[in-house]
Structure 1
Amino acid sequence: MSRSDFSQFCLALSLLLLSGCGGAHHSEAADWERSQIETVNSIDGVTMKAKEGTLSSTGLTVTFENSTDKQMIYGEYFLLEKNINGSWYEVPVSIGDNYGFDAIGYRLDSTTVLDWPVDWEWLYGSLDSGHYRIIKNILDFRQPGDYDKYDLAAEFTIE
């Protein structure tokens, strides 16, 4: 084997070995859509956290806390994202594009703490291990047509 052939063989072998690095995370990130949400938890005095002891691969309970003097509104809609190599990606839904959420508004009164259980199995199935976040919209509602929308996120890890 000539030196040139040996060099090409080593290069090809190196590329083959490197293509296998990264495992499922590499292919997962390649197949998933990158998050479009840039800013979360930017409303002062309102938080959403994963409630300890409620997490499973098919759901959890989030706790909202509103320590402001304003009433906030949230709905049924939620989105799950997974952190892959330091970036957030939307978890693909398992039922195709034919789904929706009830258009209902829940009040989060001022100086209130409340729990909201979510079961995502119907939409995402059972989650694999990894670091995730659930995203929910919340409205600083003043009157019909006059509101500001914020994205709240609560992070959690599936072992």
Structure 2
Amino acid sequence: MKYRMYLLCGTFLALCLLTACGGDAKVSDQAFEGVVNDYEGVTMTAVEGTAHPGTVTVEILNTTDQDIESGNEYDFALQKEMNGTWYWLQTKQDEYANTAEALLYPENETVTQKLTWANVYGSLDKGHYRVVKAFFEYGGPGDSVDFLLAAEFDIE
């Protein structure tokens, strides 16, 4: 009897992990009206072959001589392209806890981050998506430039 209970629990856990825990992500009706990838010298790209319904790996490269910073690997948002327009994905909850640490992106050094969203957004259906992440150039107290980077990927 105990064996059957362990087997049932293990099967449920495996099924939950394979389906990215908790259903499909939902697209909002809010279109993105901002600008991404317009800061010269800093790029974020999705690593080919790493996009899955619950995760993608991105590479961030800073080729400037400026101090570039951003939040941790949990600090990002997702968008889906539909009919040539980008729409925000809805989070499962209105608020999530996240630490406020800033990560530094050194000059000419590629930083790799594995971004996982199953708990926040759910599993992605087939489609064309992008992860959007806020960055800033810190020039001193009261002197910073904020910008957004986006990395596009497909879920097949």
| TM-score normalised by structure 2 residue count | 0.77
Which residue of the other structure, out of 43, 63, 67, is the alignment partner of 1:71?
Answer: 67
Which residue matches 2:41? 45
Contact 1:131–1:158 (Cα < 8 Å) also in 2: yes
97-106 or 120-129, which deviates more:
97-106
Which residue matches 2:16? none
Residue 80 (1) aligns with residue 78 (2): yes
Structure-2 separation of matches of 1:34 and 1:132: 13
- For residue 53 of structure 1, report the CA deviation from its aligned partner: 2.1
Give CA deviations for 1:40-92 in whole Å, capped at 9, x if unaligned.
Answer: 11111110000112111001111001111112001032110000111110011
Structure-1 separation of matches of 2:123 and 2:62: 30
More helix by share: 1
Contact 1:32–1:92 (Cα < 8 Å) also in 2: no
User: What letter corresponds to residue 127 of structure 1 in structure 2?
Assistant: L
* Residues 4-153 of structure 1: pairs in structure 2 closer than 5 A: 32-36=29-33, 38-76=34-72, 77-94=75-92, 96-153=93-150
Q: Return 5+ residue gaps in structure 1 as ranges.
A: 1-27
Structure-1 separation of matches of 2:129 and 2:84: 11
Q: Return 5+ residue gaps in structure 2 as ranges.
A: 1-25
- For residue 149 of structure 1, report the CA deviation from its aligned partner: 0.4
Which residue matches 2:3? none
Identity, in percent, stands at 36
81-90 or 141-150, which deviates more:
141-150
141-150 or 117-126, which deviates more:
141-150
| TM-score normalised by structure 1 residue count | 0.76
Paired residues in the alignment total 129
- For residue 152 of structure 1, report the CA deviation from its aligned partner: 0.1
Post-superposition, which runs of at least 4 consecutive aligned residues in structure 1 deviate over 3 A? none
Higher Cα Rg: structure 1 or 2?
A: 1
